[in-house]
Amino acid sequence: MRLAYKIIFFALFATHLLHSQEIALLKYQGGGDWYSNPTSLPNLIAFANKEINTAIEAKPVTVETVSPEIFNYAFIHLTGHGNIYFSDQEAENLRKYLLSGGFLHADDNYGLAPYFKEAIKKVFPDRELQELPASHPIFKAPFEFPNGLPKIHEHDGLPPQAFGIFDEDRLIVLFTFESDLGNGWEDPEVHNDPEEVRLKALRMGTNILHYVFMN
């Protein structure tokens, strides 16, 4: 069954690559503000295209969890502050997508964690989020983060943590917590972050895109 999922995904994804590379923002149910940080993904895309020569479309596409369109994108981003809900159909669609070669990055924009953890259990009831060590390849290239996930915003003052779900040795879900990379990707005047903080966020985001598109 997993082979069939992979055939479907790679057929759709290969067709899509004939035209361009695109990434998608996930529109989910539950009332959470999935649309927060509107300037973050365009800024990250522009930075990655310049720094590592990706060719990602400047404006991300919005997709719904239940839509077959998610199979057109190698990278899907999820963010927000509030509740997330996946129906049975949505959870099954997302599970197929991820096991077929897709990748989900969920970035806690403060307050997302308990809702995301509950929602992702519905997608993968048989798997646990595992904390990524600083030695994981996602922290190594093209930019080096010897201490793992960087701290971008204060939130509760806890250390930043990156958690993952794996399919064999491939990272398929990345959950970034107590870091708020998306805030660091936003236009400078939104949060007035120092340039060195924004640069750390953009470089870490570029590492994530590099892991998805170039490995």
In this prediction, residues 16-40 reach a mean pLDDT of 82
Percent with pLDDT over 70 in the chain: 90
To the question of pTM greater than 0.85 for the whole model, the response is yes
Three-point CA angle 85, 87, 88, nearest 5°: 140
Contacts of 73 (CB under 8 A, 6+ apart): 13, 16, 22, 23, 24, 61, 63, 102
Residue 87, number of CB atoms within 10 A of its CB = 12
Half-sphere exposure at residue 125, Cβ-oriented, CA atoms within 13 angstroms: 5
Q: Which residue carries 């400078």 as its tokens?
A: 188
Rounded to an integer, the average pLDDT of 28-48 is 95
Task: Quote the pLDDT of residue 114.
Answer: 95
Q: Are 32 and 114 in contact (CB under 8 A)?
A: no
Greatest mean pLDDT range, 17-21, 109-113, 132-136: 132-136
Residue 13 has pLDDT above 50, yes or no: no
Each residue's pLDDT tens digit, 53-83: 999 999 999 999 999 999 999 999 999 988 9
CATH of domain 2-214: 3.40.50.12140
What is d(CA 69, CA 151) in angstroms, rounded to the nearest whole number?
A: 33
- Tokens (6 digits) for 94: 């997302």
